[in-house]
Amino acid sequence: VNRSGPFPLRTGVPLGTAFFIVAVVLVALGGLVAGLSVQGASPEATWPTLAFFALLTVLAEHFAPQIDSRTKTSVSVVIILGATLYAGVLGSLAAVLAYAVYVKVRAGSPPHRMLFNFGMALLAAQSSGWAFGLLVPDGPARGSFELMLVPAAFAGLVYYGVNHLLLSGVRGAAEGRAFWHIWAADYAWLWPHYPVLGVLGLLVALTYHAFGWSAVVALAAPVGMMQVAIRQYVARTTANIRQLESLNEELQREIAQRRATEEENARLVRQAARVAALEELSRLKSEFISIASHELRTPLTGILGFSELLSTGAITEEDQRQRYQRMVYEQAEQLAALVDNLLDVSRIEAGRVELHPTALDLEEVVRSVVEPIRATAPGHALSWEIELAGRRVLADPGKMRQVLVNLVGNAVKYSPGGGAVTVAARPEPTGGLVRISVTDHGLGIAPELLDRVFDRFQRVDTADTRGIRGTGLGLYIVKELVELHGGRVEVESEVGRGSTFHVTLPASRLPDAADTEERRETIHA
Amino acid sequence: MPNEETAVLELGVAAARPRGVVLLVDDDDVVLALLQATLARLPHLVVVARNGAEALAQAREHRPDLVVLDVTMPGLDGVEVCRRLRADDATRAAKIVLLSACAQPDDQARGIDAGADVYLTKPFRPGELLQRLTQLADWSS
């Protein structure tokens, strides 16, 4: 059997709540006075009887098991109803007063709460007594039990209704919620208990009437045992729940901790990756510096050495002298190209490369790149094959030349044994794009290095390539320039078989013949 | 430092007859040509090689008194060639000059550890090189 416990009012009662409480207490007391003056005191309301019911109420409340912070089983309602049915308004008053004072003492609740509990319970008890009196005008002592069952149940329901209406009202006022919400959420489920409490109250009243206080105490014994059992059960269940809750908390903590650890780990992994990337960059940079210094020193050796020999007059033969002078010039040129590359990279990295794209005649560009290289690479068979059907490439002529010089230069450089080097250009079947491919039959690139060949400072460093000059900048410049054009670079290679570098660039639309002529002139001009 | 011009001339005069074999090793044609031009006036037999393997073969064949070795080469590098020359009884006696475009102290230590007599960095000055070679080979005597 359940009933709601004291409503949760904080100290410092809001004005509305205070009014509500005062009103309830005044109505209850008014009802009391009115009942007494209209009907007079019940003849059964003797001092011993009232004292007995008051004591019984306190005992019932004392042993009532607490189910949770809000809910308590309440045999005390049975006693209050029994007192009401047996001794009328004075019975109610005695039991309710005992109840309110006990709750105050026991729970240490503030005075306004005691006041409200008193008023509420008194009003509920009076209402139920009044309802019972309507149906059984002669009082419980003189009716037959079967005929009083339904009125008693009805009285219980009235008690429930008044009690919880007031409870919802005062909580609503305190919590700022509509009282029916509180009712529906917290109290609606309780109603079936109260007819039973009413009948039990009737039973207490009749037993007291028939057999006196000892019979009621005997009747209370099994109820008390049941209460104790329920208390035990609740205590254990609560302990179990607590244990579960603490386990759950522990789990939550552990999960949070684990999550934090994971985050920390992820952070460390990210940091390690950053550090590794920085270390790799720094390694590449110092490698670059040593390569660049090597690449600078080699032509400088030729320039300084031959200049010295020439200037000291150690070379007397005229053809030797001319040959060495040419070498000085070539080495100086190589040095200039290297410096250009370095400047290009710094320009690219600073984002200061400007493009002036025009519709290029690719064949012309390729020829102008391949011819001079062919002259310096007699061991290679350089050829080109342009099948663009009048299509042109949208590109900056100077940058495009640079891309092709680097690619064809690499193709020659990395095929030390000679062999065919071909430049091919074809429209992509998907349209709108032109693909230029430079193929050699040289050393090739190992698969694990393929995706890094376009990186800065990255050189294919193997025993085969160690003697080949290079700074690791050429392909990086190619990639950056092509991507600036909105194109992309790709490479296919097989060690020992050679490599093919593909450059895909946007094509201008297919022009008609006149248009082609016109553009050719524009470019030539 | 003595005047290089003088050194060249003295060597040119002093070297009236062939005094031995010099092996020049470099993968770069320009540097090789420079070395050859530098030593052109010496009455020595000059042998060249363009990589490490070739250098070892030439050394085995010609038993050079002096080897000028480039460090950075395809295949066997100069330091390794130096080590192998020192390991072989036939070539152990040669004076070895390592010539490198790497100027890091580590590289120099590596070269000396491998048994090189002199470690020079590029760019080198022909007169100075000639002088070092002269001292090393004790040709002036």
Confidence at residue A520, expressed as pLDDT on a 0 to 100 scale: 41
**Percent of chain A beyond pLDDT 90?**
24
Q: Which residue has the higher pLDDT, A426 or A69?
A: A426
Confidence at residue A1, expressed as pLDDT on a 0 to 100 scale: 42
CA distance linking residue B107 with residue B111, whole number of Å? 6
CA distance linking residue A72 with residue A66, whole number of Å? 4
The three state secondary structure string of A308-350 is HHHHCCCCCCHHHHHHHHHHHHHHHHHHHHHHHHHHHHHHHHC
Instruction: Report the gap between the CA of A340 and the closest CA in chain B (Å).
Output: 21
Give the nearest partner residue to B31 out of A301, A309, A463, using CB atoms. Answer: A301
Confidence at residue B3, expressed as pLDDT on a 0 to 100 scale: 43
User: What's the average model confidence in pLDDT over A442-448?
Assistant: 84
Residue of chain A whose Cα is closest to the Cα of B123: A301
pLDDT higher than threshold 90 for residue A263: yes
Q: Which residues of A touch B49 (CB under 8 A)?
A: none
Q: What b/e readout covers A206-245, taking b as 16+ CB neighbours within 10 angstroms?
A: bbbbeeebeebeebbeebeeebeebbeebeeeeeeeeeee
Residue of chain B whose Cα is closest to the Cα of A465: B74
Residue B46 φ/ψ region, left for φ over 0, alpha for ψ in the -120 to 50 degree band, beta for the rest? beta
Q: Which residue has the higher pLDDT, A245 or A229?
A: A245
* pLDDT band for position A123 (cuts 50, 70, 90): very high
Confidence at residue A97, expressed as pLDDT on a 0 to 100 scale: 92
* pLDDT band for position A270 (cuts 50, 70, 90): very high
CA distance linking residue A116 with residue A137, whole number of Å? 30
pLDDT higher than threshold 50 for residue A513: no
Residue A461 φ/ψ region, left for φ over 0, alpha for ψ in the -120 to 50 degree band, beta for the rest? beta
Convert the pLDDT of each residue in A358-394 to its tens digit: 888 888 888 888 888 888 777 777 777 777 666 678 8
Instruction: Report the gap between the CA of A511 and the closest CA in chain B (Å).
Output: 48
Residue with tokens 């690719």: A362
* Least confident stretch, A149-158, A502-511, B79-88: A502-511
pLDDT higher than threshold 50 for residue B1: no
Confidence at residue B16, expressed as pLDDT on a 0 to 100 scale: 43
Q: Which residues of A touch B102 (CB under 8 A)?
A: 290, 293-294
User: B131 at the A interface (CB within 8 A)?
Assistant: no
User: What's the average model confidence in pLDDT over A280-301?
Assistant: 80
Find, among A475, A411, A469, the residue nearest to A439 by Cα. A411
Q: Which residue has the higher pLDDT, A459 or B57?
A: B57
SS3 state of residue B111: helix
User: A297 at the B interface (CB within 8 A)?
Assistant: yes
Pair A427, A433: CB distance under 8 Å: yes
Best residue of A287, A289, A298 to probe chain B, by most B CBs closer than 10 Å: A298
Instruction: Report the gap between the CA of B122 and the closest CA in chain A (Å).
Output: 6
Q: Which residue has the higher pLDDT, A525 or A32?
A: A32
User: B5 at the A interface (CB within 8 A)?
Assistant: yes
Q: Which residue has the higher pLDDT, B9 or A369?
A: A369
SS3 state of residue B59: helix
User: What's the average model confidence in pLDDT over A102-129?
Assistant: 88
User: What's the average model confidence in pLDDT over A229-240?
Assistant: 86
> Are the beta carbons of A467 and B73 separated by less than 8 Å?
yes
Residue A4 has a CB neighbour count (10 Å cut-off) of 18
Confidence at residue A68, expressed as pLDDT on a 0 to 100 scale: 66
CA distance linking residue A171 with residue A188, whole number of Å? 15
* Least confident stretch, A7-21, A165-179, A282-296, A437-451: A7-21
Residue A506 has a CB neighbour count (10 Å cut-off) of 14
> Are the beta carbons of B123 and A305 separated by less than 8 Å?
yes
Find, among A73, B68, B93, B89, the residue nearest to B81 by Cα. B68
B37 to A236, A307, A309, A316, B62: CA distances (angstroms):
105, 12, 8, 11, 20
How is residue A332 written in tokens?
A: 């100086």
* pLDDT band for position A287 (cuts 50, 70, 90): confident
Find, among A210, A206, A92, the residue nearest to A139 by Cα. A206
Residues in chain A: 525
User: B126 at the A interface (CB within 8 A)?
Assistant: yes
How is residue B125 written in tokens?
A: 């000055």
SS3 state of residue A386: strand
The CA dihedral of A390, A396, A399, A404, to the nearest 10 degrees, is 0
SS3 state of residue A46: coil
> Are the beta carbons of A468 and B74 separated by less than 8 Å?
yes
Give the nearest partner residue to B72 out of A313, A315, A467, using CB atoms. Answer: A467
Q: Which residues of A touch B122 (CB under 8 A)?
A: 297-298, 300-301
User: A333 at the B interface (CB within 8 A)?
Assistant: no
For B70, list phi and psi in degrees, rounded to 5.
Answer: -75, 145
Residue type for position B15? A
Q: What is the DSSP letter of A42?
A: -
Residue of chain B whose Cα is closest to the Cα of A328: B30
> Are the beta carbons of A301 and B34 separated by less than 8 Å?
yes
User: B28 at the A interface (CB within 8 A)?
Assistant: yes
pLDDT higher than threshold 90 for residue B130: no
Q: Which residue has the higher pLDDT, B6 or B29?
A: B29
Average pLDDT value for chain A: 83
CA distance linking residue B26 with residue A261, whole number of Å? 58
Confidence at residue A286, expressed as pLDDT on a 0 to 100 scale: 79
> Are the beta carbons of A297 and B122 separated by less than 8 Å?
yes
The CA dihedral of A20, A25, A28, A30, to the nearest 10 degrees, is -100
Question: First and final CA of chain A: distance in angstroms?
Answer: 107
Q: What is the DSSP letter of B77?
A: -
Residues in chain B: 141
Residue with tokens 């049975």: A78
Find, among A467, A156, A184, the residue nearest to B101 by Cα. A467
B 71-110 → A contacts, CB under 8 A: 72-75, 77, 101-104
Spatial neighbors of A172 by CB under 8 A, at least 6 apart, are: A178, A179, A181, A182
